Amino acid sequence: MEDEISNIDKDISSTIKDLTKSHEETKKNISEINVGFDELVKRVSSINQKSEISESQVRTICTEIKSYDTIKNNLTLTISALKKFLTLADAIEKLRTFCIEFKYREAANLIEAINDLFTFFKDYLKNPQVLEIKSQKDLLCNQLRTQILEELERYLNLGLLPKIGISTMSRKAA
């Protein structure tokens, strides 16, 4: 029995040593886990800070992109308006040429095109350049009207046209 007690004592002593050793290993493991956890918390915090900075940068970039898009749209509209204005100015010069060359059919078609272009510029009629072009158009149209009426009158006087109330037309136009 003493042998048994001695064996049991040895077992208990060995178990206590193993438990003590295991306890120290567990403490060491817990300490390592705590260090790892602290490191993980620092990394997560750093990632959160970087994420907030990145999010702020993305918002700034998005705002800038929207601003650039607005600028691009405004430039596109401006370029389109300038092209139409140049087309209008060119059409006025062609109309002037048609008046000089007595090309009434071409002038009539061009006046219709000019009127269509002026629908685009109806909101810009206070602009001095647009007003100038409009007054040139009006002046040329009046000149054409006078020219056509004088030519009709000349043809009537020469007897080249039958008299069908042209004199009434000239009174209406005047």
Taking the model in full, what pTM does it have? 0.62
Q: At a CB cut-off of 8 Å and minimum separation 6, what does 64 contact?
A: none
DSSP type of residue 160: -
Predicted local distance difference test score (pLDDT) of residue 45? 92
Amino acid identity of residue 43, one-letter, is R
What is the CB-side half-sphere exposure of residue 160 using CA atoms within 13 A?
Answer: 6
Interior CA angle at 48 toward 45 and 52, to 5°?
140
Convert the pLDDT of each residue in 41-98 to its tens digit. 999 999 999 999 999 999 999 999 999 999 999 999 999 999 999 999 999 999 999 9
Contact yes or no for 152/108 (Cβ under 8 A):
no
